[in-house]
Amino acid sequence: MSLLGRLLYQSRKFYDDDFDWNTYTADSYERRIVGDIEANFQAVAEQDQLKFNAATGTLEVQGRDLHPNHQLVLEAIGRLQAKSVHEIGCGGGDHVANGKTVFPDVTYTGGDRGQTQLDLAQQRHPHLAGSLMLQDITMPLSRHWPRAELIYSQAVLMHIHTAVSHFVGLANMVNSSDRFVLLMENYQCHNFIADIQALQKGGHFDWPEMFIHRFDGSTGARAILLARDKQDLPELTSDAQIREGLKPSDRRLKRSNEDSARGLFGPAG
């Protein structure tokens, strides 16, 4: 290789996730739970503070409000009547804890690739021991991972930008789920709809059919819902639809396009 070639090779771009997940809790996560979530919202609710109202499809909250994104996840579980739920990137475990409080009959588990995040979850919710596990959703699919009717992520895939990892994560989520995948993410951090469509067309999902819907929570949050069967919900066919009304971030949109461009998909079936 020429000298110029070697210099260019050394300066080639490496893509990386937003955080070092091994040190994330100490670096920023624990501080953000206290400063951003606990300071403004109810992070963990007691038994009598949350109740899902099946007639209205909404979560009734006593005391301080839940963060709208966290409320949406619980409303999705109730409205979709999922009997088993698994959270990808469960972090400090608050959503698993709240979910178990609202839906005691649902089998509810969580996985995270960061041991220090799981240690934090264990500290915050000792009763979750046995429900949380070490799991890297960007590894090849493991038959030891839990299957569930609903698999969801909240603020996880949006931070994954290493090579083609977010595609692997998306495919693993669908292929571990029996009915639904819910993505509660920042929709400018990836071209989620285009990437899902490309994975589907390329044969990376086990589901014979997939319907991509918009799911709205009752307090203003929106999510992407992938469903094996068509739901009575608005269908999404483009990223523009899920981004409608959001203030564009040029930096994020540029990186999303770079991330999408690294995908090399199976031939169309």
Contacting positions for ligand SAM (CB under 6 A): 21, 24, 88-92, 111-114, 117, 135-138, 154-156, 159-160, 169
CA distance 117 to 228: 31
Q: Judged by CB, which is closer to ligand SAM: 135, or 176?
A: 135
Tokens for 99? 């979910």
Q: Output the smallest distance, CB 138 to ligand SAM, in A.
A: 4
Please check whether residue 38 is in contact with residue 14, taking contact to mean a CB–CB distance below 8 angstroms. Answer: no
Q: Output the smallest distance, CB 68 to ligand SAM, in A.
A: 13
Q: Output the smallest distance, CB 75 to ligand SAM, in A.
A: 16
Q: Judged by CB, which is closer to ligand SAM: 12, or 143?
A: 143
Q: Judged by CB, which is closer to ligand SAM: 17, or 238?
A: 17
Helix (H) or strand (E) holding 124: helix 115-124
Q: What phi and psi values does residue 105 have, to the nearest 5 degrees?
A: -90, -5
Q: Output the smallest distance, CB 206 to ligand SAM, in A.
A: 19
Helix count and strand count (H, E) for the chain: 10, 9
Q: Output the smallest distance, CB 240 to ligand SAM, in A.
A: 25
Tokens for 1? 């290789």
Going from the C-alpha of 188 to that of each of 121, 194, 195, 250, the distances in angstroms are 28, 12, 12, 9
Q: Judged by CB, which is closer to ligand SAM: 30, or 178?
A: 30
- E runs forming strands in the chain: 50-53, 58-61, 84-88, 107-112, 132-134, 148-154, 177-184, 211-216, 222-227
Q: Judged by CB, which is closer to ligand SAM: 20, or 235?
A: 20
